Amino acid sequence: MNAAEAAKIIKAIDGTHPVPQLTGIRGRMRFVGPIATRDMIIEDGKITVTPDQGKVDCTITAHEVGDNVRVLSGELQLVTALLQGRLEVEGDPMLIVRIAGSLRDLRLGQHLPTGQQQTTH
């Protein structure tokens, strides 16, 4: 994934998305990457991805273009990326554990260019 593709996908995934598995969970995460920064607001069964930057509970930093996009789209599992050293985390690790399995349920993968979509996890 090149920088232009990643930037296009980042803009496409902004917005609010229902994730019923996260009912009762609240928190705010920041995804920092070489192209853009996005906050993810988890609010009782929905997730909002936004360029707004407020106070966060944890920050996830990716150094490779596209890694955060892959995580947000469900193409790359968050825990796997952390274990592989592709991402760094600072802050509340329990929030990450609580939402890690639900990111793929965002169904944001529909925004990935053809040939990069992943339908099984």
pLDDT at 26: 95
pLDDT at 108: 54
CATH assignment of the domain containing 39 = 3.30.1050.10
Considering its fold, how many domains does the chain have in total? 1
Q: Is residue 38 part of a domain?
A: yes
- For the entire predicted model, the pTM comes to 0.78
For 56-95, the pLDDT digits (tens) are 999 999 999 889 888 877 788 888 899 999 999 999 989 9
Contact by Cβ (8 Å): 57, 91: yes
Comparing 107 with 18, the larger pLDDT belongs to 18
For the chain, give the mean pLDDT. Answer: 82
Q: Is residue 116 part of a domain?
A: no
Q: Is 104 exposed, middle or buried (0-12, 13-18, 19+ CB in 10 A)?
A: buried
Q: Using CA atoms, how far apart are residues 15 and 49, in angstroms rounded to an integer?
A: 5
Range of the domain at 72: 3-108
Q: Is residue 61 part of a domain?
A: yes
**DSSP label at residue 36:** -
Residue 81's nearest CA partner among 70, 91, 92 is 70
